[in-house]
Structure 1
Amino acid sequence: MARDVKCNVKNCHYWGQGQECTASAIEVNVDGGAEKASYVAETNCHTFKAK
């Protein structure tokens, strides 16, 4: 499992120094509720929380 998760969303509550995600867990889902994604653009991070 990855220990270092990089994030470029500067207005996220969990965005940390060096573009590191400081959330204790990360949830990523497929748009539209599907179980498989064909492209990166079909996924999104549900861990995001605005600052």
Structure 2
Amino acid sequence: MKLEVLCNVENCTYWAEGNQCAADSIFVVGLHNNDADSVADTACKTFEPRKQ
């Protein structure tokens, strides 16, 4: 099953046209003891800056 993952961080290595994430997998963590109550409490660990 293909899962659509959207991302608007254009300077990420995995960003693709149409705000698509082209990573093989996504790793999201909670910022406070692995618990999250809102989007602000999470972070994408898959992010890698695009090489220029």
TM range (shorter): 0.7 to 0.9
Q: Structure 1 residue 14: deviation in Å?
A: 0.1
* Runs (4+) off by over 4 Å: none
CA distance in 1, matches of 2:5, 2:44: 12
Unaligned runs of 5+ in 1: none
The number of residue pairs the alignment matches comes to: 50
Root-mean-square deviation over aligned CA pairs: 1.5
Task: Spell out the pairing of 1:20-35 with structure 2 (5 A cutoff).
Answer: 20-32=20-32, 34-35=33-34
TM-score by length of 2: 0.86
